[in-house]
Structure 1
Amino acid sequence: MKVSRLAVATGIAASSVLLLSGTAFAHVSVQPQGEAAKGGYATVNFKVPNERDNASTVKLEVNMPAEHPLASVMPQAVPGWKIEVTKAKLAKPLDVHGKKITEAVSKVTWTADGSKIEPGRFQQFPVSLGRLPEDTDQLVFKALQTYDNKEVVRWIEEAKEGAPEPESPAPVLKLSAATEDEHGGAKGASAKDAKNSGHDAEATSKAAESDDSSDTTARILGIVGILVGAAGVAFGVLAGRRRSA
């Protein structure tokens, strides 16, 4: 009995640790919608979970990477949130399609305006970014999360290779290999998709032919069955007449 109680207690304790760990490791992150390829454009979501049981998130500030300025930063409207875009002069102008860009967005701020992120909830804030740099494998976005009790959580710590994840890690966007398309689409994928489409069409055609063949066979068998049945009935009638005679 004591052993069973000890096992139950141990199980409860372990479950509590796992639950608490899950809550502790929830943090502001950035996730691409599809692929974020070097040299291209991408739409990303800044995912903000509420980590408090007695307060709601009412503000998010995301700093753009100063070492890799982005010429285009366009946040999507989010119902119940006011958006403020802050720009700054660039020490080194960007050359985009032959045009010199002397300033770029340095920070995007979302402030609750009729909405908030309540305990046990999360909110996503979409942003279109481009062109993504080609000389790095990732972009770091330092963020500040403010609660309605005035608490500010600073998600600004950068992870180091081989070291444990920081307590308050900054959101990191991983960049995939550059594609031929300047807008982040893979030109090579079109041929592959076309090939796959061809295979799919061929498979569909064969399936249709198989279905037609099966349907025709079923009809023939049905007709044969009807004829056999009719012959059986006729044979029965004739046999009855002979017995009567």
Structure 2
Amino acid sequence: MDWAKDYYTQQSRTFARATVTDQHRRIAQRLHGWCGERDGVRRILELGAGMAGVAAALADRGYDVCAVEFNPADATLARSLASQPRAGGLTIVEDDFYTVDLPGRFDFIYYWDGFGIGTDDDQRRLLRRIGQDWLAADGRALIDVFSPWNWRRRHGERSTFTARDGSTWERRIEYETHGERFRDHWSTADDPTVHRSQTIRCYTPLEFEDLARETGLAVDRFIAMDGYAFSANEITEEIRATNGFYVLLQPCPMR
């Protein structure tokens, strides 16, 4: 994962802004709904928070949110959002979530748009940290997981984006069936030699269940992107047509 910090730092400097968007508020609304399934949810942890737009939107709803982000460009933007008045609290921790020491336990933990960076062992290590180090005894965790089916279909897809400085960037998607990973390639239209890429492991629900074993977590339910619960053994075409699914996790005593 040596590439990850530089990649996300450069992406932030190219595209990110210190603002809470409508998309951030829509994601926060979904997370608020899952938090509302239990009484007394107050303390929330976001992993891989980026510039903390979702965390800020949750803080606006009165939650106390701790947002962990390791790339300095996003962390700087996040601190700008944290300096603004909110109904709840927003604390930015610039650190690596594999090694950071966080005080106390959290009622709700989420990781949005990032699970799958690194190896299977890296994902297990993170799940163990969630289940054994951070999650309250009656807490819940929500993971946004990329699945393989639609990313396979998107192999070769190209699209363009405008950077903060007005330059045009092309995104090209490549899918590797060996290892079930997609690669995100970015290059500028003006200078194709400027290139950066990320790679993300995709999982089926059954693969995720296997990944979570002996981590201190158990699957409460799988949730499709349109919000309905589904079984790991019953994957519909509607689920296959989306980029992934959500997993709601609960604490599970280690044997």
Q: TM-score range by the shorter chain?
A: under 0.3
TM-score, with length taken from structure 2: 0.23
- Indicate the structure (1 or 2) with the bigger Cα radius of gyration: 1
TM-score, with length taken from structure 1: 0.23
